Structure 1
């Protein structure tokens, strides 16, 4: 796991977006399975509480940490090992959209380009950018077969000022 304290993306409170560009140590089909298989998601993100990710499906995730919050996702685009696009409705927030683009890298890994857009006024894109960095730290560790972040809330708090400083506005 990189444990980087450098921003891997940007956030814009004006445009209501958060982006992340990260290389992962596994091929796109492995990264895809980590994002879409209910038995893999708890290792780096959180459990699937309802439904199974798939084309035109709605499913519910539980995030890490001691919050008990849920995320309702509806699949808009399902292109295995290439692109996943879902609506994202976090507890207490309006619906936004998450897009993942997976591209193979020359070293056998995957470039993950994550774009999260359309946040309502109650959501902070900087918060999401730091959160996605923390979650993909765990994803990177999962793919490498090593332990992830033990205290996800502490990691998120460590990353918040990094993304606030790197925000586009």
Structure 2
């Protein structure tokens, strides 16, 4: 089940995940688990703490697949953002590009002992280009998270990403 919203200044994705909130939370805050669906990096888990990110998307595919040319310059890029809200195990928010590209918030609600609603909201986008870029990325990364939690293999992250970008482009046009 998904309930996604995309607009030039805000993205909202909702996923129902087959895991308890405590498990999903670990996929958000544990750098090694986070590396399997998004990006790893050293993290200081407190408000004002650093949220480390390393783009190593080759780790997201279970098979060896080439990185698309347009993303090759970013492979291995490392940076950190600032945690703006930290309420374990239900809420994590951090800046993006030191706030220039907004704020990302993950909110978790346990539906029952084995199911969690995850809502990712990215606010403060700078327009349609950000919405398309981040929208495709978040959509693809959340698909990987769903599959990792369910124990399903990810043969090719970049194929998922290409589909997600097309879906976000269509969604952005329909919102206009």
Could you tell me whether the CA contact under 8 Å between 2:19 and 2:115 is conserved in 1?
yes
Residues 1-169 of structure 1 aligned to structure 2 (within 5 Å): 8-13=3-8, 16-48=9-41, 51-56=42-47, 57-63=49-55, 64=57, 66=72, 67-68=74-75, 69-89=77-97, 94-106=100-112, 108-121=114-127, 123-148=129-154, 150-167=155-172, 168-169=175-176
Counterparts of 1:71 and 1:129, CA distance in 2: 20
Q: Deviations over 1:116-168 (max 9, x none)?
A: 011235952122122111101111122122323x3323222112222222222
SS across alignment from 1:59: strand
Where is the strand percentage greater, Structure 1 or Structure 2? 1
The 3 A distance-change label for structure 1 pair 82 and 104 is same
Q: CA deviation at 1:107?
A: 6.6
SS across alignment from 2:97: strand
SS across alignment from 1:89: coil
User: Structure 1: which 5+ residue stretches go unaligned?
Assistant: none
Residue of structure 1 in register with 2:67 after alignment:
none
Counterparts of 1:125 and 1:101, CA distance in 2: 20
Counterparts of 1:45 and 1:138, CA distance in 2: 8
Q: CA deviation at 1:30?
A: 0.6
User: Structure 2: which 5+ residue stretches go unaligned?
Assistant: 59-71
Q: Flag as ranges the 4+ runs of structure 1 deviating above 4 A.
A: none
The 3 A distance-change label for structure 1 pair 164 and 121 is closer
Where is the helix percentage greater, Structure 1 or Structure 2? 2
Comparing 38-47 with 18-27, greater Cα deviation is found at 38-47
